[in-house]
């Protein structure tokens, strides 16, 4: 009976959404012009243009009542100072990735990516339906911010390495650009990790300041020319099975907005989130083919001992985080419970399908 009631309720909710699509009631009586600072170079493929896409949608959905001026990294504030700038009201909005702020808000890392964690579909389900957004709102409100998912890169590559990795011993002492919990896991197996803006990666690899670097995936990595300064591209997806890009709004500015314009921002964020996911799926496929066929990039996977060590170290890094920070504990309890809830269907659904598709050679 409970199941029937759940299905009835779910069906009613779905029907309600279908029957009442979003329509802005914004008029031209009062206008707003906001600044958005980002962690990406101006108009950088997918990341920078994704911020532009969000701004365009806001202006369109508000019937011109709200305009957002997008600023690339370094134009108003440095790439890794977006969080502080928006919290302080230097700009009304930001576009970045939450795991950059682990030194300020330890729990923020869980809202971008968790090593060996949920994929993009699962992550969106947690944010939109599993209580993730509510936790994100609560934690960021303590820093005068309102967060949204405004884009996602999908599954990321393990990164570029200047030497081939044949065993766990080859990882020892490497200098690697890798943020978030995955960076902590790498530190645990003998790698030295740093967090730096994407625009600094090429030069750091070229000069030897870095031995290896994670950025995003084929599309964005090729845009930075990383294939010119590292020979080996590792495909072992463990570090970022998804990567949410966050839009942040200064909470005072948010609370001052009329409700209809708050709805505009919510809907523009959802639309831009989907648009970026779709773009990355398409562009990454194109870029990977170009990297291999035209540039001779050598694709590799980590040896089994490296992957086993990373899995163990990831669990230890997460546990340390949870033990030492109450917000992280609360967020991860929600995150891991939702992942466990989804796992059975993910296994018999997408995972089983992909295995079957490969087995029949499609």
Tokens of 335: 């995150």
pLDDT (tens, 9 = 90+) of the chain, 362 residues, equals 343 343 333 333 333 333 344 555 545 578 999 999 999 999 999 999 999 999 999 999 999 999 999 999 999 999 999 999 999 999 999 999 999 999 999 999 999 999 999 999 999 999 999 999 999 999 999 999 999 999 999 999 999 999 999 999 999 999 999 999 999 999 999 999 999 999 999 999 999 999 999 999 999 999 999 999 999 999 999 999 999 999 999 999 999 999 999 999 999 999 999 999 999 999 999 999 999 999 999 999 999 999 999 999 999 999 999 999 999 999 999 999 999 999 999 999 999 998 898 787 55
Tokens of 213: 């670097």
* 3-class DSSP string for the chain: CHHHHHHHHHHHHHHHHHHCCCCCCCCCCCCEEEEEEECCCCCCCCHHHHHHHHHHHHHHHCCCCEEEEEECCCCCCCHHHHHHHHHHCCCCEEEECHHHHCCCCHHHHHHCCCCCCCCHHHHHHHHHHCCHHHHHHHHHHCCCEEEEEEEECCCCCCEEECCCCCCHHHHCCCEEECCHHHHHHHHCCCCEEECCCHHHHHHHHHHCCCCEECCCCHHHHHHCCHHHCCCEEECCCCCCCCCEEEEEEEHHHHHHCCHHHHHHHHHHHHHHHHHHHHHHHHHHHHHHHHHHHCCCCEEECCCHHHHHHHHHHHHHHHHHHHHHCHHHHHHHHHHHHHHHHHHHHHHHHHHHHHHHHHHCCC
Q: How many other β-carbons are positioned within 10 Å of the β-carbon of residue 324? A: 10
User: Is 133 annotated among the ligand-binding residues?
Assistant: no
User: Is 156 annotated among the ligand-binding residues?
Assistant: yes
Q: How many other β-carbons are positioned within 10 Å of the β-carbon of residue 285? A: 11
- Please check whether residue 112 lies inside any domain of the structure: yes
- Please check whether residue 345 lies inside any domain of the structure: no
- Please check whether residue 311 lies inside any domain of the structure: no
Number of domains forming the structure of the chain: 1
User: Is 214 annotated among the ligand-binding residues?
Assistant: yes
User: Is 325 annotated among the ligand-binding residues?
Assistant: no
User: Is 215 annotated among the ligand-binding residues?
Assistant: yes
- Please check whether residue 322 lies inside any domain of the structure: no
The domain that holds 273 is classified in CATH as 3.40.190.170
pLDDT at 328: 98
- Please check whether residue 82 lies inside any domain of the structure: yes
Contact predicate 220/112, CB 8 Å: no
pLDDT at 8: 39
Contact predicate 85/76, CB 8 Å: yes
Give the global pTM: 0.89
- Please check whether residue 23 lies inside any domain of the structure: no
- Please check whether residue 220 lies inside any domain of the structure: no
Domain of residue 89, residue span = 32-154+242-282
pLDDT at 358: 79
pLDDT at 16: 35
- Please check whether residue 71 lies inside any domain of the structure: yes
């Amino acid at each position: 009976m409970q199941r029937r009631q759940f299905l009835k309720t779910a069906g009613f909710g779905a029907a309600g959404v279908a029957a009442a699509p979003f329509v802005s009631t914004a008029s031209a009586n009062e206008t707003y012009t906001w600044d958005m600072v980002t962690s990406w170079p101006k108009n950088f493929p997918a990341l920078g243009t994704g911020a532009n896409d969000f701004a365009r949608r806001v202006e369109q959905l508000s019937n011109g009542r709200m305009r957002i001026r997008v600023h690339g990294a370094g134009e108003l504030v440095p790439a890794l100072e977006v969080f502080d700038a928006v919290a302080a009201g230097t700009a009304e909005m930001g576009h970045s990735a939450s795991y950059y702020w682990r030194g300020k808000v330890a729990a923020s890392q869980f809202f971008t990516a968790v090593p060996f964690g949920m994929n993009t579909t699962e992550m969106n389900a947690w944010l939109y339906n599993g209580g993730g957004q509510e936790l994100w709102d609560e934690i960021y409100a303590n820093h005068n911010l309102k967060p949204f998912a405004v884009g996602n890169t999908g599954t990321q590559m393990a990164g570029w390495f200047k030497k081939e990795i044949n065993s766990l011993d080859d990882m020892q002492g490497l200098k690697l650009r890798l943020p978030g919990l995955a960076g902590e896991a790498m530190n645990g197996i003998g790698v030295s990790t740093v967090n730096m803006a994407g625009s600094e990666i090429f030069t750091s690899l070229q000069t030897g300041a870095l031995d290896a670097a994670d950025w995003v995936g084929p599309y964005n990595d090729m845009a930075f020319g990383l294939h010119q300064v590292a020979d080996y591209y590792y495909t072992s997806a463990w570090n970022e099975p998804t990567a949410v890009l966050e839009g942040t709004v200064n909470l005072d500015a948010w609370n001052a907005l009329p409700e209809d314009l708050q709805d505009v921002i919510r809907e523009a964020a959802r639309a831009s989130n989907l648009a970026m996911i779709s773009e990355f799926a398409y562009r990454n496929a194109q870029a990977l083919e170009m990297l291999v066929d035209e540039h001779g990039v050598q694709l590799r996977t980590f040896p089994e001992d490296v992957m086993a060590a990373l899995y163990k170290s990831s669990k230890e890094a997460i546990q340390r985080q949870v033990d030492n920070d109450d917000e992280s504990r609360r967020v991860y309890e929600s995150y891991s419970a939702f992942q466990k809830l989804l796992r059975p269907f993910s296994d018999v659904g997408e995972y089983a399908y992909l295995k079957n598709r490969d087995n029949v050679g499609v």
